[in-house]
Amino acid sequence: MPVLVMKFGGTSVANLDRIRRAAKRVGVEVAKGYDVIVIVSAMSGKTNELVGWVDEISPLYDAREYDAVVSSGENVTAGLMALTLQEMDIPARSWQGWQVPLITTSAHSAARIEEIPTDNINQKFAEGMKVAVVAGFQGISPEGRITTLGRGGSDTTAVAFAAAFGAERCDIYTDVDGVYTTDPRICSKARKLDKISFEEMLELASLGAKVLQTRSVELAMRYKVKLRVLSSFEEQSDAAGTLVCDEEEIMESNVVSGVAYSRDEAQMTLLSVADRPGIAATIFGALSDAGVVVDMIVQDISEEGRTNMTFSLPVDQVKRAEKAMNEIKGVALNFDVLQIEPDVAKVSVVGIGMRSQSGVAAKMFKVLSDEGINIKVITTSEIKISVLIERKYMELAVQALHDAFELDKAA
C-alpha cells in the first residue's frame, strides 16, 4: 500500500472535538487506500504549560528530565487520536518515539534525527494496522533517554518519516490554509500560493514566516519529500493548500514569490575595531560561545587600520551579546564604542525568478526610498534580498513591496 504522512499541529488537536475532526480527515485518506502515518503535536498550549512547570521547579534544570516532561504532551495526543480512530473502526495504534524507535543525537532539547528504522511500523501495517499515530517532537538517544527536537520539531518528525517510508506526500495540517505571498494580517492583498519551491520556502521560513519549521524544509529539500501545507479547518480537496516541491514542478512563477519579515530584531555595531586578520573570528566566536544567533553582517573601514563591524540578532539576545563583547574588550578585542539599536526589523523579498531577472534590488530600494524608509543594512543571496529598517516602518515596507511586485496577481 502507498504511504501518506499527515501531521497535525497543536491548534488542530487542541481539544477532543478537533481531534475527532482530524481523525475524520485521516479516515478519508485510509478510504483512498493509503497506509497512514499520523504525526501529532501536543494540544495547543500544553507544551508551554509543561515548560512553565519545569522552570518553576528548577530554573537550572537537568535537560534529560526536561525532555521527559515536555515530550509527554505529544504522548497524550497520540493516544487520544488512536482511540478516536479505533472508535471509527479504523485499525490504529499510537507510537511514542522510543517505540519506533526514532533515534536521535544526545543533544537534549535540541536533538537531531539520526535514523528511523521502518521494520516495526511496516510489520504492523502488514498485520492489518491502517494508521500509525506517532508522537511528534521526540525520539530516543543512544543512551536510551527520551530526547526532544526543539520547538516546531513535529514538522521535522513528519518530514523525516515521509523520507524514511518513501511516502507519496507529507501533509502538514495547521491553522492557515497554505503559504501566502506575505502575512495576510499585515497585507490584505496577500495571495495564497498553489505551489512554492523548496528553496523559496526555506528562505521564507528562515526569514520569519512561521508556516513551517526551517529544519523540516531543509529535510524535505534534501530527500525530495513533497510537502503540502493546508488547514485543518477548511474543506478538504486534492487542490487544497500549498504544495512545496522541486522548482522543476513549477511551470512559471513571479520574479518575487513573497515578502517576509522578522519584527523582533536588533542591530549592534562595534565602532573602530582594530583591523587585523582573525578579528571577525574573534567577535563571532565569542558570540557563538554565548549562544547568540547572528544574521546580517556588514564590515566597513572607518579609518586607517580600523574597521566597524555591524550585525543583526534577535532582540532578546542583546544583553547576552553585549556581555560577550564587553568580556573580550581589551583582552582579545579592541574597539571604541558598542552601539545598540533595539528597535529594528528585517524585511525580505524572496523568489527563484531573481536568478534570471535583473533590477529587483533597484526596484526594492526605490520603493522603500519613495516611502521615506531608510535602509540600515543590506544582505543578498541568489534568491533573496533582505534589509534592516526601523521597526515602526515594517508594516508599511511589507505592504509597499507587496504592491510594487504585484504579488496579489498570479504569474
Q: Which amino acid is at 177?
A: D
Asked if residue 20 and residue 162 are part of one domain, the reply reads yes
Q: Is 47 annotated as a binding residue?
A: yes
In a domain, 284, yes or no: yes
In a domain, 211, yes or no: no
pLDDT attached to residue 302: 65
Asked if residue 266 and residue 123 are part of one domain, the reply reads no
**What are the distances in angstroms from CA 398 to CA 30, 187, 213?**
42, 7, 22
Asked if residue 23 and residue 147 are part of one domain, the reply reads yes
Cα–Cα distance for residue pair 317/307, rounded to 1 Å: 24
Biggest CA pair distance of the chain: 78
In the listed set 175, 196, 227, which residue is the last one of a domain according to the structure?
A: 175
Q: Is 353 annotated as a binding residue?
A: no
In the listed set 175, 200, 220, which residue is the last one of a domain according to the structure?
A: 175
pTM of the predicted model as reported, rounded to 2 decimal places: 0.81
Cα–Cα distance for residue pair 316/275, rounded to 1 Å: 29
Cα–Cα distance for residue pair 82/134, rounded to 1 Å: 9
Length of the chain: 411
Q: Is 45 annotated as a binding residue?
A: no
Closest CA to 71 of 115, 102, 41, 103: 41
What sign has the CA pseudo-torsion 384, 388, 391, 394?
negative
- Which 8-state DSSP code applies to residue 182? S
Map residue 405 onto helix, strand or coil: coil
Domain count, the chain: 2
Asked if residue 155 and residue 21 are part of one domain, the reply reads yes
In the listed set 175, 191, 208, which residue is the last one of a domain according to the structure?
A: 175
- Grid cell 525580505 is found at 348
143: domain range? 3-175
In a domain, 146, yes or no: yes
Asked if residue 279 and residue 166 are part of one domain, the reply reads no
Enter the C-alpha cell of residue 264: 523582533
pLDDT attached to residue 69: 96
Cα–Cα distance for residue pair 227/230, rounded to 1 Å: 10
Asked if residue 266 and residue 149 are part of one domain, the reply reads no
Q: Is 379 annotated as a binding residue?
A: no
Q: Is 222 annotated as a binding residue?
A: no
In a domain, 48, yes or no: yes
Enter the C-alpha cell of residue 297: 553582517
Q: Is 185 annotated as a binding residue?
A: yes
Asked if residue 278 and residue 144 are part of one domain, the reply reads no
In a domain, 204, yes or no: no
Asked if residue 389 and residue 282 are part of one domain, the reply reads yes
Cα–Cα distance for residue pair 180/194, rounded to 1 Å: 9
Asked if residue 359 and residue 266 are part of one domain, the reply reads yes
Q: Is 175 annotated as a binding residue?
A: yes
pLDDT attached to residue 208: 61
Could you write out the three-class secondary structure of 57-118?
A: HCCCCCHHHHHHHHCHHHHHHHHHHHHHHHHCCCCEEEECHHHCCCEECCCCCCCCEEECCC
Cβ–Cβ contacts within 10 Å for residue 376, how many?
Answer: 17
In a domain, 245, yes or no: no
Asked if residue 280 and residue 164 are part of one domain, the reply reads no
In a domain, 272, yes or no: yes
Q: pLDDT 10s per residue in the chain (411 long)?
A: 899 999 999 999 999 999 999 999 999 999 999 999 999 999 999 999 999 999 999 888 899 999 999 999 999 999 999 999 999 999 999 999 999 999 999 999 889 999 999 999 999 999 999 999 999 999 999 999 999 998 889 999 999 999 999 999 999 998 888 889 998 889 999 998 989 999 998 888 877 666 787 889 999 999 999 999 998 887 766 668 899 988 878 766 778 999 999 998 999 999 999 888 888 999 999 999 998 989 899 988 767 778 899 999 999 999 999 999 999 998 888 888 999 999 999 999 999 888 888 899 999 999 999 999 999 999 998 899 999 999 999 999 999 999 999 999 886
Cα–Cα distance for residue pair 389/376, rounded to 1 Å: 6
Q: Is 316 annotated as a binding residue?
A: no
Cα–Cα distance for residue pair 221/217, rounded to 1 Å: 6
In a domain, 251, yes or no: no
Cα–Cα distance for residue pair 360/385, rounded to 1 Å: 9
Cα–Cα distance for residue pair 30/88, rounded to 1 Å: 12
Asked if residue 18 and residue 126 are part of one domain, the reply reads yes
Asked if residue 26 and residue 159 are part of one domain, the reply reads yes
Domain with residue 311: its CATH number is 3.30.2130.10
pLDDT attached to residue 111: 93
381 has which bridge partners?
384
Cα–Cα distance for residue pair 139/112, rounded to 1 Å: 9
Number of H helices and E strands in the chain, helices first, is 12, 18
Cβ proximity of 362 and 375 under 8 Å: no
Q: Is 9 annotated as a binding residue?
A: yes
Cβ–Cβ contacts within 10 Å for residue 188, how many?
Answer: 9
